[in-house]
Structure 1
Amino acid sequence: MKKFLIADDHSIVRTGLKFLIREEFMDAEIDECQDGNSAWKKIQTGEYDLTILDISMPATDFLHLLKNVFDLKPDLKILIVTMSSERIYAKKYLNLSPSVKGFINKEAAPSEIRRAIVSILNNKKYLSPRLLDIQIQEILKGKEKNPFDALSIRELEIMNHLVSGKDIPEIAGILSVDSSIIRIHKANIMHKLGVSNVIELCEMVQRF
């Protein structure tokens, strides 16, 4: 019997993922939670064949969560399912650790999400058709370098909070750092991407 953990702050997403899992594994045992702290507690005490995580859960330092998971259970398989852009975020997260086996957008077809789950459980890394196409086009056609590749993974995480409407004190609270640290990261993000404010940043993210 396969055992899964789904960590996402939207109940409708968790319900949909449970349905997809049970289409493939009728007797699956599925735990669920809606924030990073709850996910970490379950991972500490449970044994899962696959953990499905959203990188945008509220009040969650996602990189800190992943680091703790990698240190405690380096063999745990992780699939990231999120609304965040695959083109912007997937490469950095997939390269973060061998534990991260896939990165897929929530808008993907149910059949694609099922395929990702099955592939990862068969010890394969999953790249979505969209992500594969982007990589092929960049190689074959010499497509212009993705500007977001210049950002560190921490900068990507902070950028994700900024474009979701969070202010500097709120982000600092989530990441448990001083607001001055977030201001420095924000300035670096703006400089690297050549934008002047959060509105321009949001517009740039939407284009990708």
Structure 2
Amino acid sequence: MTALTVTDPALRLLLVDDHTIVREGLKRVLDSAGSGWTLAEAVTGFQALEILRAHETDLALVDLSMPGMNGLELVRRIKTEFPAVRVLVLSMHSEEQYALRAFKAGADGYVTKDVAAIELVGAVRRVAAGGCYVTESLAEQVVRQLYGPGDAPLHSRLTDRELDVLQRIAAGQRLTEIGDELHLSVKTVSSHKTRIQEKLHVSNSAELVRYAFENRIADP
């Protein structure tokens, strides 16, 4: 475990993100909070589970988009195997669909990676103390999505697995690569792709990628 220098209750945190630069930035933010926290790091969901089995942890900060096991699956695994561990999702996606999926998977909070440092620290403290956290603007969107009369986007019909496959296709991965990372056959991945195209009313891969970019499911 890599120690950080800290002064509120000594929280034991696990940061799960496959991007080194993101982890380094988050560590600086948490360190500057001046709390007495300790921080462990994991690059993949599988590594995160190994750390949780070996070390007492209060809160896991989990990225949604990771190779292999994605963030949603990891959240579900954490809540099943370590129900006492609090989970705060850190995502580049501000869309309510991702927040909804994260909370349904068992997350206790959801923040985007572009939030101010003080807000991130506040979210960590609130979730670790047993509360839930979501930004006010995103909370309004989530409530509208759950109860409002507006039409839901087409991709709200996708399963978590289909959404994961769509993100990977938009990122330029071949079906064989996706199958290898998700431990699925190419035939199964191809079937997912077909169902995704049907649900999004697109007819080919180019339109699929365009939809993902236009709806902020992936970065162009």
Bucket of the pairwise TM-score, normalised by the shorter protein: 0.7 to 0.9
TM-score, structure 1 length as denominator?
0.87
Q: Give deviations 1:63-106, integer Å, cap 9, x for gaps.
A: 55444323321221111112234333221121122xx1122221
SS of 2:140's equivalent?
A: helix
Q: Give deviations 1:9-29, integer Å, cap 9, x for gaps.
A: 222211221222233352211
Shift of 1:183: 0.8
SS of 1:52's equivalent?
A: strand
Query: How far apart, in 1, do the equivalents of 2:105 and 2:70 lie?
Result: 15
Give the count of matched residue pairs: 206
Query: How far apart, in 2, do the equivalents of 1:118 and 1:207 lie?
Result: 34
- Which position in structure 2 is the counterpart of 1:154? 161
8 Å CA contact 1:172–1:178 kept in 2: the answer is yes
* Counterpart selection for 2:118 from 93, 111, 120: 111
Letter in 1 for 2:29: L
- Which position in structure 1 is the counterpart of 2:64? 55
SS of 1:56's equivalent?
A: coil
Query: How far apart, in 2, do the equivalents of 1:54 and 1:201 lie?
Result: 24
Change (3 A) 1:173 1:207: same
- Which position in structure 2 is the counterpart of 1:30? 39
| Structure 1 runs, 4 residues or longer, greater than 6 Å off | none
Letter in 2 for 1:178: S
Change (3 A) 1:140 1:70: closer
8 Å CA contact 2:13–2:38 kept in 1: the answer is yes
State whether structure 2 residue 100 is matched by structure 1 residue 91: yes
Q: Give deviations 1:124-154, integer Å, cap 9, x for gaps.
A: 1212233223235557863222222211111
**Bigger shift: 138-147 or 166-175?**
138-147
- Which position in structure 1 is the counterpart of 2:128? 121
Change (3 A) 1:130 1:203: farther
8 Å CA contact 2:99–2:142 kept in 1: the answer is no
TM-score, structure 2 length as denominator?
0.83
After superposition, the CA RMSD in angstroms is 2.2
Q: Which runs of 5+ in 2 are unaligned?
A: 1-9, 216-220
Identity of aligned residues (%): 26
SS of 2:105's equivalent?
A: coil
**Bigger shift: 150-159 or 194-203?**
194-203
- Which position in structure 2 is the counterpart of 1:204? 211
